Amino acid sequence: MTLLRAIVYFGLLLVTVLLYGTVALMLYRFVPEHYIDQIVQRWSQANAWLQKVICGLDVRVAGREHLAAAPCVLMVKHQSAWETITLHHHLPKRQAWVLKKSLLHIPILGWVLRIGSFIPIDRNAGRRAMLDLIRAGGDALNAGRSVLIFPEGTRTAPGERQKYNVGGAMLAQKTGYPVVPIAHNAGVYWARRGLKKYSGTIQVRIGPPITTTDKSTKEILALTEAWIEDTMQTLPTQRAAPSVSHTA
């Protein structure tokens, strides 16, 4: 039944990509930029609702008050595709996500990413990629957008961690905007590989802003990593066993 629900949801996910993506592509030349932001938000919100209704997957967010620091650099733990689909709905409306440039080649989705407020980065470009991130990320922050980065750069299974890349910390250090760290345990319910989506409640923790003035890139990265990974230790890494009722 879990697999069947996941297949149904995946089919509807594709439908929402086609529907909202087509609308965005039709309108982007004729409407202000913030209308495209709203379409992306609505798409994310629709998928959050579908996940809850079809898969029994809910989310609980703590620390929303820390988002008052926006615009900021959002540094987020990366465990699954859930973040890229649903987290947008729970964060400030004006966002610019840093993503792999290869995603731009996906039909419909890639086209929408080209017209939206996203920052595509070629990871193989070395120093040029870093310069592109600082330039585009700085422009987004100065325009009032929070820049979201997955510092590990790849999805990581629950209980594991990858090396934190320096890009987000360097962007914050160069621009002076604060870092807001975010931890969650989405990977417990939505694995980085495989189709199944398990019922339960994803826990999201938004940390207090980390000021970046008078701090080095290394210090910013260390503080961000410490908060995220320490918080990860407090989140469940296993799904709760289903309750069994007994009758006399």
Q: What is the CATH number of the domain that holds 132?
A: 3.40.1130
**pLDDT at res. 110:** 77
User: Residue 17 falls within a domain, yes or no?
Assistant: yes
Question: In which band, very low, low, confident or very high, does the pLDDT at 32 lie, cut at 50, 70 and 90?
Answer: confident
Instruction: Judge whether 46 lies within some domain.
Output: yes
Q: Is residue 166 domain-resident?
A: yes
**What is the reported pLDDT for 195?**
87
Look at residue 243 and tell me if it is in a domain: no
Structural domain including 155 reads 2-232
pLDDT of residue 69: 86
The residue ranges of DSSP E strands in 91-212, in sequence order, are 95-100, 118-121, 146-149, 179-184, 200-206
Tally of domains within the chain? 1
Q: For residue 128, name the pLDDT band (cuts at 50, 70, 90).
A: confident
pLDDT tens-place string over residues 13-29: 999 999 998 998 898 88
Asked, for residue 242, whether it belongs to a domain, the answer is no
Confidence of residue 242 (pLDDT cuts 50, 70, 90): low
Where do the DSSP E strands lie in 154-229? 179-184, 200-206
Rg of the chain over all Cα atoms, to the nearest angstrom: 18
210, 224 contact by CB (below 8 A): yes
Mean pLDDT of 68-78: 94
Query: Cα(179)–Cα(212) distance, rounded to whole angstroms?
Result: 7
Residue at 245 is within a domain: no
Q: What pLDDT digit, counting tens, does each position of 171-181 carry?
A: 999 999 999 99
- Quick one: pLDDT band at residue 204, thresholds 50, 70, 90? very high
Residue 200 located in a structural domain: yes
In a domain, 116, yes or no: yes
